[in-house]
Amino acid sequence: LYDSPEFISKYTYTGNDLGVTYTKKATTLRVWAPTATAVNVVTYKESNSPYSSGKLTPMKYDVKGTWVATLKGDQDGTVFNYRVQVNGFNNEAVDPYVRATTVNGLRGVIVDLSTTNPKGWGMAKPRFSGKPTDAIIYELHVRDLSMDASSGYPAAQKGKYVAFTNTKTSHNGEKTGVAAIKDLGVTHVELLPIFDFATVDENNPTFNWGYDPQNYNVPEGSYSADPTNPKLRITELKSAILSLHKQGLRINMDAVYNHVSNASSFSQNLIVPNYFFRRDDNGNLTSGSGCGNDVASERPMVRKFIVDSVKYWASEYNLDGFRFDLMGILDVTTMQNVREELDKIDPSIIVIGEGWNMGGLPEDQRATQVNISKLDGIAAFNDQIRDGIKGSVFNADEKGWATGNTGRRGDVVAGITGNVAYSASVTANWITNDPGQSVSYVEAHDNLTLADKLFSSVNTNATTRSKLHRFASSIAFLAQGLPFIHAGQEFERTKGGDDNSYQSSDAVNSMKYKQRVTYATTLNYFKGLISLRKAHPAFRMATTSDVKKNLTFLNTSQTVIAYKLNGAGVGDKWGTIVVIHNAGKATASVTMPGGKATWKVVVNGDKAGVATLATLKSITKVSVPAGTTMVVYK
């Protein structure tokens, strides 16, 4: 029924007023319910007024499957739901477009959004070129920022949005929290889910990643100082975003449109049963996501819902980027529409996603890595360089090229080019249009942290592990592409070997800022790599042709990868840069390009940055110690 041309032409609504349209004089509600026989708005005196006390206002059938009602007067704060007669049932559902809810997201609340803006709201975003290769993304969970005793945050701020407004925290004289992030030098902070998710009781919060969407356009309540106050969390999140903007940091959000927490109780499913999710030939929900349901993004009104939701977050919350969870479940057209609409709001907004090949659509319609050529302006996580460097994330013991598995050298080489169409001898598993479509990384919230992966896959001592951590991280970080680091990676974050900590304790997950001191060498190394990358466009080439023209691999053994960057060709003040990664067990002697010359070292195994660490006078070969990266320029 839903996919028939008749249904699509009769019931595809294209207006921009689904959900609540608020004015002080009246509020109009519009809901898409083409198969319903009657729809009522039900309003409640209080958030917890009994079902039977609800006051019904009938909605009138309007156009394209939508129903409309107007509530007179100033409805700011009114608690409401829809009661929908459909398939012989009378379902009560939250408005899928709702922007505020009662605690735990059970009922919608009409709000005057103009009253939710914090003081100073509307300031310009931190400057950013808009080129993905100029970004450095830092992936962080709201609670992780502030829960540990070493965070320096007062108890009232721990685990809350408000922690982001405190930019002066420290522990034993060392920066923590937002101050530590600013100190690191990243450009974008990417927050794990901040939309309303289901699993955590907002009245009694515990840790959860939050990949269980409930109300897509509402901030999660467990991060609010008072989740029973529907407006407060909106203001708090905006204040957090404003505060980070003031610190020069841009903010991306994790967008989880591929599945919901509970398909049967999801608002859209109660209103239009079976429309929102994909089913197999036997009528069962598909689960390419592994979460019990896949959102049918290819259906026009689901696509519209996703695009409208992204637009809402980008404009109302002034966000700077989105990370699409399991993007491969979604279809190409939806992601293209997302990009087009974001370009209208602010073309400098970044979009990245997990382009894993999954879900039930025909393969050419999936928003996957192999279809990235159809997704200009959208980047995909590059698991080829990730696993090439450190070994598969699905096998804790497996080594990668950086830890002695020479068979993965080709994967690292491909990733260093940003998976562009570089040459016949470089085998990228998927080909980007430009390096900005390759998210280059070795650690994310999923799977073992790099430190834990090294612990389980390499039999060595702590000192060597630290060295390998810097080595592995530097390979991904210096590669062409869009670099992405996981919060705490800069101080060798460990989760004690927990590779799926989505509901583990704060003790496992939180940022242990003491490690910034313990692992100061690695922390400073990251700071140095970041400053190097920011100062030198040779590491941030934006086009495939720039990479092909200006990045040349040197002839080396299987345990060494070395490449020359023609800085002069991309406006870099360093004429020639050479990056050498030695994954061997012995010092490597690498013949330098261009004959005898004097080179300046800016990165070695322990230090990184733009300052000269050593000058190599009149050399033709350079010695690079085992398990280290060296960057030199002339």
Catalytic residue IDs: 325, 354
Sequence-distant (≥ 6) Cβ neighbours of residue 123 within 8 angstroms: 242, 245, 246
Sequence-distant (≥ 6) Cβ neighbours of residue 399 within 8 angstroms: 390, 391, 405, 457, 458
Return the range that interacts with Ca ion (CB under 5 A); candidates 193-201, 319-327, 489-497, 595-603. Answer: 193-201
196 vs 490, which CB is nearer to Ca ion? 196
Give dist(CA 365, CA 379) in Å, integer.
Answer: 16
195 vs 455, which CB is nearer to Ca ion? 195
Give dist(CA 628, CA 362) in Å, integer.
Answer: 44
Return the range that interacts with Ca ion (CB under 5 A); candidates 10-18, 173-181, 189-197, 372-380. Answer: 189-197
Handedness of CA 418, 424, 426, 431 (dihedral sign): positive
Sequence-distant (≥ 6) Cβ neighbours of residue 540 within 8 angstroms: 131, 133, 134, 480, 533
The distance of closest approach from Cβ of residue 194 to Ca ion in the complex, given in angstroms and rounded to an integer, is 10
148 vs 220, which CB is nearer to Ca ion? 220
Do 152 and 171 meet the contact criterion of CB atoms below 8 Å apart? yes
Residue 212 within binding range of Ca ion, rule CB under 5 A: no
Number of residues binding to Ca ion, judged by CB under 5 A: 2
Do 578 and 610 meet the contact criterion of CB atoms below 8 Å apart? no
209 vs 491, which CB is nearer to Ca ion? 209
Locate 21 and state its tokens. 């349209």
The distance of closest approach from Cβ of residue 197 to Ca ion in the complex, given in angstroms and rounded to an integer, is 5
The distance of closest approach from Cβ of residue 214 to Ca ion in the complex, given in angstroms and rounded to an integer, is 6
The distance of closest approach from Cβ of residue 454 to Ca ion in the complex, given in angstroms and rounded to an integer, is 35
161 exposure class (CB count in 10 Å sphere: 0-12, 13-18, 19+): buried
204 vs 425, which CB is nearer to Ca ion? 204
Return the range that interacts with Ca ion (CB under 5 A); candidates 82-90, 214-222, 269-277, 342-350. Answer: 214-222
Q: Closest-CB residue for Ca ion? A: 196
Return the range that interacts with Ca ion (CB under 5 A); candidates 52-60, 192-200, 500-508, 614-622. Answer: 192-200
196 vs 387, which CB is nearer to Ca ion? 196
Give, for 307, the enclosing helix (H) or strand (E): helix 300-316
Site for Ca ion in 386-415 (CB under 5 A): none
Return the range that interacts with Ca ion (CB under 5 A); candidates 128-136, 188-196, 359-367, 405-413. Answer: 188-196
The distance of closest approach from Cβ of residue 101 to Ca ion in the complex, given in angstroms and rounded to an integer, is 8
Q: Is 76 helix (H, G, I), strand (E, B) or coil?
A: coil
Site for Ca ion in 241-300 (CB under 5 A): none
The distance of closest approach from Cβ of residue 204 to Ca ion in the complex, given in angstroms and rounded to an integer, is 12
148 vs 196, which CB is nearer to Ca ion? 196
Return the range that interacts with Ca ion (CB under 5 A); candidates 195-203, 309-317, 468-476, 514-522. Answer: 195-203
Strands (E), 98-169: 108-109, 137-140
Give dist(CA 497, CA 489) in Å, integer.
Answer: 14
463 exposure class (CB count in 10 Å sphere: 0-12, 13-18, 19+): exposed
The distance of closest approach from Cβ of residue 210 to Ca ion in the complex, given in angstroms and rounded to an integer, is 8
Site string for Ca ion, 217-246 (x = CB under 5 A): ---x--------------------------
Residue 196 within binding range of Ca ion, rule CB under 5 A: yes
Note the Cα 42 to chain centre separation in Å. Answer: 36
Give dist(CA 395, CA 398) in Å, integer.
Answer: 5
193 vs 481, which CB is nearer to Ca ion? 193
The distance of closest approach from Cβ of residue 227 to Ca ion in the complex, given in angstroms and rounded to an integer, is 8
Locate 606 and state its tokens. 């322990």
Site for Ca ion in 464-483 (CB under 5 A): none
Which amino acid type is present at position 29?
A: L
Alpha helices by DSSP H, listed for 141-214, are 142-146, 177-184
Sequence-distant (≥ 6) Cβ neighbours of residue 94 within 8 angstroms: 81, 82, 101, 105, 106, 107, 108, 215, 267
225 vs 462, which CB is nearer to Ca ion? 225
Return the range that interacts with Ca ion (CB under 5 A); candidates 121-129, 194-202, 265-273, 377-385. Answer: 194-202
100 vs 630, which CB is nearer to Ca ion? 100
Return the range that interacts with Ca ion (CB under 5 A); candidates 212-220, 259-267, 288-296, 327-335. Answer: 212-220
139 vs 196, which CB is nearer to Ca ion? 196
Whose structure tokens read 């522990």? Answer: 171
Task: Identify the bridge partners of residue 197 per DSSP, sorted by sequence position.
Answer: 213
210 exposure class (CB count in 10 Å sphere: 0-12, 13-18, 19+): buried
Locate 144 and state its tokens. 């992780």
The distance of closest approach from Cβ of residue 252 to Ca ion in the complex, given in angstroms and rounded to an integer, is 20
Locate 235 and state its tokens. 């203001």
The distance of closest approach from Cβ of residue 218 to Ca ion in the complex, given in angstroms and rounded to an integer, is 8
The distance of closest approach from Cβ of residue 442 to Ca ion in the complex, given in angstroms and rounded to an integer, is 31
Sequence-distant (≥ 6) Cβ neighbours of residue 204 within 8 angstroms: none
Secondary-structure breakdown of the chain: helix, strand, coil percentages, each rounded to the nearest 5: 30, 25, 45
Sequence-distant (≥ 6) Cβ neighbours of residue 97 within 8 angstroms: 18, 19, 20, 217, 305, 308
List C-alpha distances in Å: 262 to 191, 242, 446, 482, 544. 23, 32, 22, 34, 42
Binding site for Ca ion (CB under 5 A): 196, 220
